[in-house]
Every structure is written in structure tokens, then in C-alpha cells.
Structure 1
Amino acid sequence: MTRLKTMIGASLLAFACSLSPALAHPPIAATQAAATFEQDRADILAMAGNYKVRFDMQESTRWDPAYTPLDRKISGGNEVVRVIEDTGRKIVLQHMLVIEHEGASHIIKHWRQDWEYEPARVLVYADRNTWKWEDVPEKMRTGRWSQTVWQVDDSPRYGGWGQFETQGGVRRWRSNWTWRPLARRDAVRKPVYDRYLSINRHQNSPDGWVHWQDNTKMGGKDGKLVPIVQEYVLNTYTKFDGYNVKAADDYWSATKDYWAAVRAEWDKVANENGGIVIQEEAETGTVISARLLQIADDIVEGKTDTQKAVSEARKLIAENTGRI
């Protein structure tokens, strides 16, 4: 098993290196970058708001003849997106799902996206349970933004960098090729693939915005990392506030200091350890995800205070992370 993992890791690295985005997108001139900076910011900030979300997932082309693609899956819900940090060159957006159940509104802290202008490095998914820092080529930094996506407990999910571009009259941000771990919808099935190789696109529309993913699902076979099936995901965010938006804002007001401390702790671990190593499980993401979320709920319900909550969270993260 160790030998297989080593071989897969080597294959992954070689494959990733062969997919250099520099071949598709040349360096951006400083004058061009300066001219579009404010429009870039406006497009990112425009993703904040209140939405009805539709998640449309479709496995299409099988690359492994023994694999049977899954049927198309469509789901959705109501989601609030808030700007929780904006320093000019860094913008952080927090997503929160609002679920109605038995006459009450329940908040599920969802994913987070960090945008950074002209980054020197990005925290990327490297292998099972491992995220590491990856340098952005110096000549490819000017005018570009990185997007780092974090899981519900603020642990890392994937990171990439790319540029805003206009094609056919449509302006969008397009990432480089990025590796990412399996989403829960796939992980719980224990499939033959164990990671995705993806390109992401974010683009605004008159009704909101869309996040389009082109995912190649990869798995180990005969000691090599090989493509199993292609998947296309279109997440559509349509402006809508016909639900209890206040419940999400109240949740965030009560827990924002706790989650700020949790984010800071993950950042500390990544910087001190050269990345983040933490065990993941199919049902919850990281092994401490459920507890970190429950602590936040306990704050909302008055079962604990922020100081005690932060202390427990820091301990959980310290005890469950390791060095690269």
C-alpha cells in the first residue's frame, strides 16, 4: 500500500507539472492589470448577497471502460454569502445555508472562499489528508487572483490561481488546473476514484452568478493515477431573499469572533508546518469538523462562551494536525 501511494503521488506530480496554465495564459502586463483591478474586485464582491442555489452535477464521459457513470444529480437550497474581510487585495466571502425544518430556520455554515491579488503562493491539495504551499510562478502573478476554498470547519479544501478574462462578451475568472479531495457526495460512496483534477470558472450574470466546474475524477490503477470519469458541475446562485435571511446574519453575529480565531489557528498551522496534514473522513470532512461546528452552535444556544469555545477549538486543531 505504501509503495502504491508513493507511485501514485509521483504520477500525480508528473501529471500536474504537464498541465502548466502558463501555456494557455501568458503573463499580464502591469498596465493591463492596473486597468482591470477595480473591475476584478467588483466582480468578486458582487458574489455576496442572498440566493437560491441550484447544484447540477453530471458525470458524462467515462475514461475507464469498466466504470458506469452516475445519473445526473440536482439539488439546491437557500444560501447567504457575506463579505467578512476586504483589505483591497484580499477579499473573504463566507457562505451559509439556511434550512427550514419543522417551522424553524437552521443555519449550516458552508464553504468559504478567499481571494488574494497577485499571490506569491497558494495552499493547495497535495495528496490524501495533505495540503501544502505551492509557489505561483513569479511571471504569472501580475494581474492574477488566487482563490482558496475552505471547508465548513475552515480547514482547507483546494486552492488555485487564475485571471479574469472576457470571451464572447462574457467576463469570468478562470483557474489553473487544481487538485481537490472528494466532495462528501462522492466520498460516502467509496468510489474507485479518490480525487478531482479541475478547472473552475466564476462569472456574474444579471440574476446573480454561476460557478462552473470541469472535474476529472482520478483514481489509482496498476500503480498509476488515471482518469476514471468526467464530471461537469454548474452551481447557479440566483438572487432571492424569500427566506429567513436574518437567521444567517444572527448566527454570524454570534459566532464571527469564534470563527475568526479558528481561521487564524488554521493559518498558524499552515505557516508553521509548511502546510496542513489532518485526517479526513467521508461523513464529515475532517475528523474534527463535526465538533468545531457543534461548538459554534453551543455559542449560539448560550451553552458556552467565545473564550472557552476558542480554547477548545485551538486544542482540537493542534492535537489533530501534523507537519508536512
Structure 2
Amino acid sequence: MLRAVMKIQSILAAATLPALAGSPPAEDREAILAMAGTHAVHFHFEETVAIATGYTVKPDSYDENATEIVTVVEDTTERITLQHLLVVRPKDKDPMVIKHWAQIWTWEDTEILDYCGEDQMHEWQCVRLTPGQAAGTWSQLVTQTDDTPRYEGYGKWIHENGESYWESSPTRRPLPRREYTKREDYDHLLVTNRHSLTATGWVHHQDNRKIVDRGDGPATTLCHESGLNTYNRTESELATVALDWWKEHGPFWDGVRNFWLEAGETAPATFSYSTFKDGEALSKRIAQLESDAADAATVRAALTPYVTAE
């Protein structure tokens, strides 16, 4: 694991960028904000190349469709947060809102969380960028459904040839939800993300490597995987359902998101959290706090015991 940490640090350090002072370009901010709206989404993941000896790529791809509303929940000069809300319609029941992932974009961010956990360890190393490395870049911190961190990378928005896109530094992340209860043959993903605006919305490309990193041996690549999630703008009455839900629940989740964000940003070397504390699951604790519509101070007091920062 130490070798993997040193390797990712060297990759990040090598990506030194020329200094670019001042506020973020307006076209960068416009590109990020353009990802908001109501979308018909198709999620597609497919293993493409076997790297490890004896491994055979899985023959079936992962494909799902959804209606997803992306709403702007924070918009300041140097930070934009987009919250994704899935809306499902169970048979013979009212539509149900599922709080999905969030994108937290920060201009010239010098603190990046690099996943370094294993098994059930939820741990991230705090990588510090120099001002020169961060100049002209945006970090993208992606959170999980409970607003704990999932991964973070950084890169520049590029606007050329009629296209606007952002490509991240290589970033490690835990096993995806679609596999973490089904697979034990690899330990984390190493991913390069690209967000590209299109005429009908935007696409999220993921160039994934499934990495085996255990014991005293060197980390090895099991296989490559391609991810392509397409977001096409649409009109849906479900958007009103999602936005009404967010009006009610958003203030609570703002407090939760800001708690985890601050916990990660202030950790001196590593940031980690436990899923159980004093016999109570973190998920159960957050659900109770949401039911109580707890304010930010109550959220902070309740969740702080789950956090370890070193």
C-alpha cells in the first residue's frame, strides 16, 4: 500500500501546471453549471482488456437507465456544488427521491483526498498541491449518498474546437457500489475521469483500471474497464418531485456535506471514518438525524465521533 501511495503522489506531483492568477474563467464556471438540469441518464460499464495472467474479462456489461435531476446547491466564485437526485416510480406507488452523488468543484484547490483504504477501511491520504500545481485547475470531489467522500481529482477545463471538457488526474477510489458486495478479486479502482459537454447535455467518461494491492507484493492491474454515463436533457414532471424534496431535506444535507468537507480539508495527513461507533451504524445515525431534521451543530456533534484524522 505504501508503494501505491508513493506512486500516486509522484503522478500528482508530476502534473505541475503554470501559474495562472485571478478568479476562475467565466467559461469554466459556465461549463460546470451547464451540467445542472433534468436528465435521462444511461450508465454503462464494460471490462475491455485483461491484464493479469489468467484473468478473463467479464462478458456482460453493466447498464442502467434513470431519471436524474442535477441541482445547484452552492455557487460561489471559487466553489460550485451540484447535487444529483434520482427519482424512481415503484409500481403502484408515488415517485420516490433517492439522494445520489454530489460534485463539489473547487477552484485552484491545494488539498486533494487520495483514497488509500483497503477492505473495510474508509481512509484517504491528504495530498497537498503547491500553488503552481493547482494554478488554473479545478478539483472535483465526488461524494457518496451519505456525503462521505468517494474520490477527488483535479485538472483544467479545456475549451477548444467547439468543445468544453475537463479531465482529471489519475485518482484512486473504493470499489463501486455495483461490485463491492460481489467482487473480492481486486482492491480499488485507478481512474481518469473526463466530463464533456454535448449538444444534448453531457457525458462522463471513466477510464478505469481495477487494481490488486494486498500483502507485501507490488500492486498489479487486473483489467481495464470503460465507463460511459450519458446525461441527455429532458423534461419530466419528476423534476418537481425532486426539487420539492430537496427544499425540505436540503438544509439538513447541506450540514452533513459541509461537515464531511471540513473534516477532510482539515485532516493533517490522513482522513478516515468508521461505519460503527459505540454499536451504532453510521448509516442509522444519519437516517435518524435526517428524520429529526437536525441542524448543522447537532450533525457535527453526532458525526464527529465517527471521524479519525491523523
Structure 1 length as normaliser, TM-score? 0.84
More displaced 10-residue stretch of structure 1: 249-258 or 44-53: 249-258
Equivalent position to 2:101, from 111, 126, 130 = 111
Q: Distance in 2 between matches of 1:215 and 1:136?
A: 24
Matches within 5 A, 1:44-123: 44-70=32-58, 71-101=60-90, 102-123=92-113
Structure 1 range deviating more: 99-108 or 44-53: 99-108
Query: Shift in Å at residue 84 of structure 1?
Result: 0.6
Give runs of aligned pairs for residues 235-274 of structure 1, distance below 5 A.
235-274=229-268
Paired position in structure 1 for 2:6: 14
- Structure with a larger share of its residues in helix: 1
Q: What displacement does 1:256 show?
A: 1.4
**Correspondence for 2:223:** 229
Q: Which residue of 2 aligns with 1:5?
A: none
Q: Secondary structure at the match of 1:242?
A: coil
Shift of 1:66: 2.3
Partner of 1:125: 115
Q: Which residue of structure 2 lines up, in the alignment, with residue 277 of structure 1?
A: 272
SS at match of 1:109: strand
Partner of 1:203: 196
Deviation at 1:171, TM superposition (A): 2.3
Task: Give the SS at the match of 1:185.
Answer: coil
1:85-139 C-alpha deviation (Å, 9 max, x unpaired): 1111110110000010123110110001111111122223222310232112322
Check conservation: 1:257, 1:306, Cα contact below 8 A. Answer: no
Q: Is the 8 A contact 1:84 1:93 kept in 2?
A: yes
> 1:129-187: CA deviations, max 9, x gaps?
10232112322222111111111111111111101124654321011111111111110
Moved more, 270-279 or 46-55: 270-279
Secondary structure class of the residue paired with 2:150 = strand
Greater Cα offset, 99-108 or 221-230: 221-230
Q: Does the 8 Å contact 1:92/1:114 carry over to 2? A: yes
Q: 1:168 to 1:280 in 2, by over 3 A?
A: farther
Task: Report if aligned partners of 2:193, 2:207 keep a CA contact under 8 Å in 1.
Answer: yes
Counterpart in the other structure of 1:284: none
- The one-character-per-residue Cα deviations of 1:225-260 (angstroms, maximum 9, x if unpaired) are 111010110010000122411111111111111112
Gaps of at least 5 residues in structure 2 are none
- Tell whether the 8 Å contact from 1:78 to 1:243 is kept in structure 2 after alignment: no
Q: What percentage of residue pairs aligned between the two structures are identical?
A: 31
Number of aligned pairs?
Answer: 299
1:181·1:194 contact (CA, 8 Å) conserved in 2? yes
Give the CA deviation at 1:272. Answer: 4.7
109-118 or 12-21, larger mean C-alpha shift: 12-21
Q: Give the whole-Å Cα distance in 1 for the aligned partners of 2:273 and 2:289.
A: 19
State the partner residue of 2:157: 164
Matched residue, 2:213? 220
Describe the shift of the 1:219–1:42 C-alpha distance in structure 2 as closer, same or farther (beyond 3 A): same
Aligned to 1:11, the other structure's residue is in SS state helix
Q: Structure 2: how far apart are the matches of 1:268 and 1:240? A: 35
Structure 1 moving runs of 4+ over 6 Å: none
Distance 1:230 1:280, change over 3 A: farther
After superposition, what is the alpha-carbon deviation per residue over 1:33-91, rounded to whole angstroms, capped at 9, x for unaligned?
A: 87x71000000000010011100101110111222222211112000101111111110
Change in 2 beyond 3 A, CA 1:29/1:268: closer
Q: Deviation of residue 29 (structure 1)?
A: 5.5
Sort the Cα spacing of 1:29 and 1:272 in 2 relative to 1 into closer, same or farther, 3 A. Answer: closer
Residues 61 and 293 (structure 1), Cα distance of their counterparts in 2 relative to 1, 3 Å cut: farther
Contact 2:17 2:132 in 1 (8 A): yes
Distance 2:288 2:39 in 1: 25
TM-score for the superposition, normalised by structure 2: 0.88
CA–CA distance in structure 2, aligned partners of residues 63 and 167 of structure 1: 34
Are the structure 2 counterparts of residues 17 and 269 from structure 1 closer, same or farther at C-alpha, using a change threshold of 3 Å?
closer
2:127 is the counterpart of 1:134: yes
CA RMSD of aligned residues (A): 2.4
Deviation at 1:295, TM superposition (A): 4.4
